[in-house]
Each structure stands twice: as structure tokens, then as C-alpha cells.
Copies of this chain bind each other. A is one copy, B any other.
Amino acid sequence: MKNLIFPCLIVLLSQPLLAADDTTDFTFNEAALAHAHTLREQALRSDLAYTITADLTTRVGARAGGTPQDALAVQWAVKQLKALGFDRVWTQPVTFPYWHRGQESAQLLQPVPQQLKITALGGSPGTAENGLVAEVVLFADLQALQAVADDSLNGKIAFINKRMQRHRDGHGYGEAVVARSNGPAVAKAKGAAALLIRSIGTDNNRTPHTGTTRQPEDGSAIVPAAALSNPDADQLQRLFALGIKPELELRLDTGFDGEATSYNVFGEVTGAQPEQIILLAAHLDSWDVGTGAIDDAAGVGIVTAAAKLIQDLPGIPQKTIRVGLFANEEQGLYGGFEYLNQLQLQHPDAPLVEHVMAMESDFGAGHIYRIDARTNAAGWSVVDALHELLAPLQIELGSNGKPGGSDIFPLINAGIANIALRQDGTDYFDLHHTDNDTLDKIEPEAMQQNLAAWAVTAWLVSQSGVDFGSGTLAPAND
């Protein structure tokens, strides 16, 4: 299994590629601008993104990589893209280790029996069938756990109590998620029997947040690991504050069972230059909790609807608009890595030769507030120019050198040009990777503004005639 960062957002990967005053003037032709205006107004009245999102969450629901529901989601996507009339619809197989979640429970035994709400971290091994009973030891954060001597925890349960902070751009996630990604390996090294973490989430619901944990590169084991909901973590914290050492029973029926194959699903609006591709990405899989509405049926809805609106314009776009709905993002960007892998097999010397640009929607369905990018100077001039169409949507111009995306992370890392439409994520981590990720959390009006930004941006990138630098950009920092 590959060892990855587990994004759903990647920000601030590298330094700006050029200073703001390097921007040169760029002007779109009038036909391109007229169609951009049309797209924007149509999107603001369109319910297509919402309808697609509703259909996926209702007819399929949760669709964790490798499950029967994941296979249904692939069927759904192929049928959906064909029904929308895309020029070409196809799939690409993606194979990965299959991880299952069975029963999971935690019960406080001392000082008083209380059920605690937990969810196993993706990739966690199970406990013994009868569970394990141990004293809990509190750590303020991952660093505090790292600071204790190896093998000193003596079969106890380590508990990392770091709370994620709420921010519009979601950067609190990156600060807190190390407890989830690295904690189980560190806990193993310290001699713990298991790890509990405070959920990497900003809510106060008893809906704990799952998410993948990192498997050590040397193949060494990790301990069974689960997240407590924030109110349950508060409860443990209060017990410690009273001087009480909690003891609890943890049972996880989880683990890896061989391999599974799922599929990336693609649909295209063929452009006048068919082998010049603008990739609009989202991921088709979800976690098994919730119904994957904001993560990432919303992205599926937004990128599909944006491409459909462009297809429905008179004539054809200059470049090909490719919708990419990727497999098993949640457990390690498997679909995204396989996509790059196939490009490398096809074009060993220039894997990105056919790609103008990649963009991704994987941060909910909220209002877009900024446009960032990672392009060459000519590309940034285009972004600067197209921002005029976005400004009336209350979208600010961000900066170059700030890419974003999850499935397209391998492509960005390989030097693809990228535009990142930043979605308001203030409430995103209330819901992300929880039971609460359901359709009712999506505001149709915010989604229309989001769709408008996507349609306008993809269209104007296509019509700009500019090489954004894909394949010539330095690899982004991992």
C-alpha cells in the first residue's frame, strides 16, 4: 500500500512562481466573453449540479472504495455521463488494498460505564474479537506522544486530544490531521495497545470523523485506532481534569482483506483541439459513513454540470473538457495515482503532453471566494483576465503558486498547470468524513455560484489559446 498524505485539500504547496508585477496583459476575444457571460447566468439558474449530487447520494449513498456500493456508483456514473450526452464515456480500472469496517464500539468502564461514540480510522487493524480493556493516557497532541520513551506505554490506550480549529480555508485540518495520519504508528512505537484521537473536525456532534491513517513505509505495524467525537473527547478530558484515570473497552472489527478493483470514470466534451485536455476532477468514492454528499458527490455534480453547460453552448470549445470522477480518493488517492501512471505509460517522456490544465472540486458545495493557480506567467495573465468575470460573484483574485486538489495531487506534483477555485470551508469540517455528510447540508444557491465559477473558468481557459505550462512547471513540493 502506498503511503500518502490524505488531502481532500492541498494548499500552500509551494512558493509563488512569479511576482504579481510579472503579469502581462491578456484579452479574451468577444465571442469567448459573450459565452462566458451566458454560462455564468445559466449556472446561477441551474439546478443540474444539485440534481446530480442528490441522485448519487439518494440512489447509491455511501460508496467506500471496493464495496458493492462503490461498484454501483461506477455504474451510476457511466449511465449519468452517457445520459447527459458527453461525446465519450469510459472507465479506467484502479486496484487497491480493500479495507473493511465491521462493528466498532468503545465503552468507558471506569469511573462509570458510558458508551462512547467512535469510528475506526481507515486502515486500522482490528482488536481481538473480545476487544481490549486498558487505562487511557492523555496526550495534548502528537508531539506529546512522540516525546515519551519508546515502549513506555505498556499496553495502555493513548489518547491524543488536539482540537481542530475552524477557518474558511480549512487550514486547521492540516494542523490537526497529523494525529490521525501518524498517530497509530507512533502509538505502536511507544508500546500502546491502541490509539484514540479527538476527531479531526470542528463540530460538536456525536458523529466522529473517520479518515485514513498512514501505514509505515517500512511495513511495520500500527495499533488499532479510532476517533472519538468531540463531545466524547470532552468527556474524557473532563475526567482527566477531575484526576480520574479512565479505563475503557475498545472493540474494532476492521482490517485489510486482499485487493479490490474499482474504476475512474470519464466523460468528455471533445474540443476543436481534441488532444488538448482540461481535466475537471472530483472523486466518486466516499467514506462508508454518511452518504458522501459534500465529500464528494457535490464535486461530481459541480464538475459534471460545468462540462455539460459548456457542451450545451453553440459550437464546440477549443480544448477538450474532460470530466474525471476518480476512484478511492479517500484511502490514498488511488484513482489519481493510477491516472498519472497510465499517462506515464502512454507518454513516458512527457506524460502531461495532452493536458492543458487540471482543476478539482473536493471541498463541498459552498460559495467560492478566491481563485488561485499554479501556472506559468502567461497562464496567470489569463487567470487575471478571467477574474473579471468572477468578481461579480464575490470571488477575489488570489495568487499564483498555490495549487489545490486531491485526486489531481499526483498530477500537480508532476508539474501540471492548475487553477484552484477556493470554496468556503468554514463548516466543511463539521461534516467531512462523518455520518452527517448528507444531502441536506448542501445549500442549492451557494452551489449555483460555485457552478458559475467553474463553468466560466473552464470555458475561458479553453478559449484562451494559452499554454499554461503543464509539463514545464517544476514538480510541486510534496
Contact = CB atoms under 8 A, between A and B. Distances in A.
Interface of A: 54, 57-62, 68-69, 72, 108, 111-115, 117, 204-207, 230-231, 234-235, 238-239, 242, 290-291, 435-436, 438-441
26 contacts: A58-B235, A58-B239, A58-B242, A59-B111, A59-B112, A59-B242, A61-B108, A61-B112, A61-B114, A61-B235, A68-B113, A69-B112, A69-B114, A72-B112, A204-B436, A204-B438, A204-B441, A205-B207, A205-B436, A206-B207, A206-B435, A206-B438, A231-B440, A234-B438, A234-B440, A235-B439
A259 B249 CA distance: 29
A290 B116 CA distance: 10
A270 to B, nearest CB: 32
Nearest to A108: B61
Q: Which 9 interchain pairs have the tightest Cβ spacing?
A: A231-B438, A206-B435, A61-B114, A58-B238, A204-B440, A231-B440, A205-B205, A206-B436, A234-B440
B238 A54 contact: yes
B441 A115 contact: no
Given A207-B206, A207-B207, A291-B235, A60 B438 contact: no
A234 B239 CA distance: 37
Contact of A114 (B54, B239, B291): B291
B207 A60 contact: no
A112 B205 contact: no
A290 B440 CA distance: 23
Contacts of A207: 205-207
Contact of A113 (B69, B235, B238, B440): B69
Nearest to A57: B235
A230 B111 CA distance: 34
Given A59-B242, A234-B439, 8 more contacts: A59-B111, A61-B235, A62-B115, A204-B436, A205-B205, A205-B207, A230-B440, A231-B439
